[in-house]
Chains A and B, each alone.
Chain A
Amino acid sequence: MSKAAKYSTMAILLIPIGIAINYVGGQLALILRLPVFIDVIGTILVGALAGPLFGAITGLVTNLILGITAPTWIPYAIVNVAIGIVAGLCAQKGWFKTFKGALITSVLIWLITQLTANPVTVYLFGGVTGSGSSFITSFLIATGQSLWQSVITTALITETVDKFISVFIVFFIIKAIPARTLLKFPLAKYYVE
């Protein structure tokens, strides 16, 4: 088996794990009654270990599978795909290795989330996100703000902490993965000398 084939098999196998992590992370946040979603850790992790393409696939399939029981998740696939791509590109710059790099990555992932999620929420869903945060949006609309203002404010309140925590969880997890396992993934050279 060639080295490239082995890499890609490992990267392909990483995708289902990433999707399951997305799901379990979100469930765990629910069980622990945390006010954040933490449902993109898997996407970021796959992006960081295997690159933008695999991160994007993880994001896409996550939302498609969630869509089997809750179809309103499907349009948000674009957000999850964008997060996977950004995480992969940042990893290719070696930013997941340092604290400062992880900070820049969180800002970029936060930015891309705002840029992709808010248009979907406004144009397709008329401002509703289907989670408890719609209560915040409806309160803001009731105080006389426009739909865009209300949706963006809500997203700033609910998403900001969420994305920073998610990136830093991935940052610490990569530090905790033993080097011999890390070496088997396509982007290993950015983490192990």
Chain B
Amino acid sequence: MLDRKKGPLSKLYPLTKVVFLMCAVVLSLAFDWKVGYLVIVPLTLILALFSGNFFGFLKKFIGALLLFVIFVFLFKIMLDKSDSQILFQWQFVIIRIQGLIDGLNQTSVLVVMAAVVLLFFETTEVEDLMISLQQKNVSHVVSYIILSTLQMIPDMIKRSKVIMQAQQARGIETEGNMILRLRAFFPSLGPLIISSISELEDRAITLEVRGFSASGKKTFLKDIRSRNIDRILSVAMVLITISILGWRIFVWLF
């Protein structure tokens, strides 16, 4: 993963991007679909152009949302009982403008969230995020949990395949009707869980020997630093968000 092409976004301090992520979600929550769809999503796409892998990002973005967005629009159009302008009519299918606006409003927060989260992880190594969190005094236990999970998942998938093949070799059917397949579930998952739990104590001893629970200050193998531009960007984004929200509340009250 380290040889990924590095765009300017990848060089930013991870927490600067976290600030952007939060501002984007807060703003999309505070306004209707226009802010999400016409401002934040285009902005994210423009930023993605500088991420070094625009089409990879676009593919993930569409893949994560396509089915969801189609269904929301389907539901909203079916549930729409208003008498707004009819855009399209074919036999019993009637699409009204209100149904489409409802759909846009319902999806905007999630579309914004998906866009910024995917862009964030497209341009940030999880490891860097964890180091930057630890530099802000978040416990190293959090880093351990997240990073070790990311290592463990592929490892356990590999092991579950081995266990399943071993069980097939001794005659457990994994094909056939549903009862048969359901009965194959336990012998495939059971040994995986029990063996991982039995290994735990070795892991615990290994970690303790390396001072996992020690109270001293932890050092890092990899060093990342926030630069001046990170500080300027973070403060600017927070100020812009607060002033837009303030304006919004002002308009709403008076």
Residues of chain B having any CB pair with chain A under 8 Å: 60, 64-65, 67-68, 71-72, 74-76, 78-79, 102-103, 106-107, 109-110, 113-114, 117-118, 121, 126, 141, 144-146, 148-150, 152-153, 155-157, 160, 164, 174, 178, 181-182, 184-186, 188-190, 192-194, 196-198, 200-201, 203-204, 207-208, 212-213
**A181, B199: Cα distance in complex, Å:** 9
* A10, B68: Cβ atoms closer than 8 Å: no
Report Cα–Cα, A13/B144, bound state, in Å. 9
Q: Shortest CB–CB separation between residue A193 and chain B, in angstroms?
A: 20
Which of A13, A41, A61, A127 neighbours the largest number of chain B CB atoms within 10 Å of its CB?
A13
A24 x B197 contact (CB < 8 A): no
Least Cβ–Cβ distance between B160 and chain A, in angstroms: 5
Number of A-B contacts (CB under 8 A): 174
Report the separation of the CA atoms of residues A57 and B141 in the bound assembly, to the nearest whole angstrom: 12
The prevalent SS among residues of B at the interface is helix
Specify which chain B residues have a CB less than 8 angstroms from the CB of A27 in the assembled complex. Answer: 157, 160
With A12-B145, A69-B60, A172-B186 already in contact, the answer to whether A184 and B201 are too (CB < 8 A) is yes
| Chain B residues in 8 Å Cβ range of A31 | 164, 174
Q: Which of B65, B110, B144, B212 has the most CB of A within 10 A?
A: B110
Q: A9-B212, A72-B68, A130-B68 are in contact. Are A24 and B200 (CB under 8 A)?
A: no
Q: How far is the CA of A33 from the CA of B188 in the complex (A)?
A: 14
* Distance in angstroms between the alpha carbons of A134 and B146 in the assembled complex: 31
Number of interface residues, chain A, beta carbon within 8 A:
59
Mark A121-138 against chain B: 1 for CB-CB distance below 8 A, else 0.
Answer: 000111110100010011
